[in-house]
Amino acid sequence: MSGLYIHIPFCASRCIYCGFYSTVSAKKKDERLSIEEQYVNALCHEMELRAEKDNSISGERTTLSTIYLGGGTPSQLSFQSLRKIFQTIEKVFHIGLEWDRESNTCSTTTPIEITMECNPDDVTEAFAQNLRSLPINRISMGAQTFSDERLKFLHRRHTANEVETAVKRLRNVNIKNISVDLMFGFPNETLEEWKEDIERLLALDIEHISAYSLMYEEGTPLYRLLQAGKVKEMDDELYRQMYDTLIDRLSEAGYEQYEISNFAKLQAQSSNFKVQTSKFKPQSSNFKVKSPFRSQHNSSYWHNVPYIGIGASAHSYGNGKRSWNVSDTKAYITAIQEDKLPTEEEIIDADTHYNDMIMTALRTCEGINLTTLSAEYRTYLMRLAQPSIEQGLLKEDDGWLRLTRNGIYVSDSVMSDLMKV
């Protein structure tokens, strides 16, 4: 089983904080459609090339556990392009698509999570209706904030009201799993303003929330503003207050914190049963209630499940190797047209695999399953973890090593101390 990630690099405009590989779409419609057609053809052919290579090794087609269309902005693609992508997925991987021509709907015979990232202002009435013709059952949208002033600062295209309208339109076409991204820590943002953003988001009654602080990544316009002294990062105390507010309010609203930045709604329980939502308090995995709305695709990534990356700059992992495609759309298209995979790869040795596990599994509320480690690595890990355990930043419980609530705030430092160097 593998996850499938398809990277769509096109954006109508570039947000000032974005460090992902993306390209701004051409302004002329004919030129934009030509590039889109070439790129989608390349995506589909890359899937065919990879399938030929993998099938020659295993002798059978890869079974997919999840599908994720990310970017960039996948909702910038035409529905003709999106249908072609899914038709190729069906041909190459066989996910059992069932097309109902009469109702113009599509589903999979075996239910799997199929996510597409959307910009809120792309979700028009026509867009929402067209979604019915695709097997997509989960939408991820970047709201970032419900302040139009802060959205303008980020160079986002949508308005706060368009987020709410998009959710209503998606509900009307029976999308029952919606995730929304929210940011905190804007220059001059107050704690009260952050609380207002949280309440606006909760009013949407969505299934999943990803929330994180504004990042100043080197090479972005936002980072250059910081270097020029035109904006200032929030101080550590305000960061902690905002993050504490987020965790406590979402817990109160019935969301499970299952990863440092991710929260999933828990289903309603019996009135006699009070849910213990995760605040990264150590709990036995035998009785911890899990939300059915956890991102299955991202959870697979955090828990060492192989994944296939298709498209410019996409990464793949599995069979003891990690690979990545060239981060250039034109170079990517040219290589695929020549039946070449524009890929570099590295072998993952035991130490690298251990370090990857530290950086991914420790982000989750379950943490690291110590029983999966060899005696050598388990001994090494617990020796390095001991100071953090004594400081109350980590806790070992029932064969699992987890971050505590206090450990989350210094998680980068804790993880760094556990790395094999």
DSSP conformation letters of 12-81: SS--TT--S--EEPPSSHHHHHHHHHHHHHHHHHHHHHHHHHHHHHHSSPPPEEEEEEEES-GGGS-HHH
CB of 197 closer than 8 Å to CB of 164: no
What pLDDT sits at residue 44?
97
Distance (Å, whole) CA 25 – CA 38: 13
What pLDDT sits at residue 280?
60
What pLDDT sits at residue 114?
96
What pLDDT sits at residue 286?
37
What pLDDT sits at residue 16?
79
Please tell me whether residue 183 adopts helix, strand or coil conformation: strand
Which neighbouring-strand residues pair with 100? 105
Q: At a CB cut-off of 8 Å and minimum separation 6, what does 366 contact?
A: 285, 400, 402
Distance (Å, whole) CA 317 – CA 94: 20
What pLDDT sits at residue 270?
38
What pLDDT sits at residue 289?
77
Using alpha carbons, list the distances in angstroms from residue 388 to 336, 379, 403: 48, 15, 9
Please tell me whether residue 143 adopts helix, strand or coil conformation: strand
Distance (Å, whole) CA 136 – CA 86: 10
What pLDDT sits at residue 108?
81
What pLDDT sits at residue 146?
97
What pLDDT sits at residue 169?
97
Query: Domains in the chain and their CATH numbers?
Result: 2-302 (3.30.750.200), 351-421 (1.10.10)
CB of 108 closer than 8 Å to CB of 98: yes
Name the nearest CA neighbour of 332 among 53, 70, 86, 45.
45
What pLDDT sits at residue 250?
98
Phi, psi dihedrals of residue 239, rounded to the nearest 5°: -55, -45
Name the nearest CA neighbour of 5 among 315, 391, 388.
315
Residue by residue, pLDDT tens for the chain (421 residues) are: 899 999 999 988 778 787 666 566 555 555 556 899 999 999 999 999 998 887 655 667 888 999 999 988 999 999 999 999 999 999 998 788 887 767 777 878 878 999 999 999 999 999 999 998 899 999 999 999 999 999 999 889 999 999 999 999 999 999 999 999 999 999 999 999 999 999 999 999 999 999 999 888 888 888 899 889 998 988 989 999 999 999 999 999 999 999 999 999 998 643 333 444 554 653 434 336 799 999 999 999 898 899 999 999 999 999 899 999 999 999 999 999 999 999 999 999 999 999 999 999 999 999 999 999 999 999 999 999 999 999 999 999 999 999 999 999 999 999 999 999 8
What pLDDT sits at residue 216?
85
Please tell me whether residue 182 adopts helix, strand or coil conformation: strand
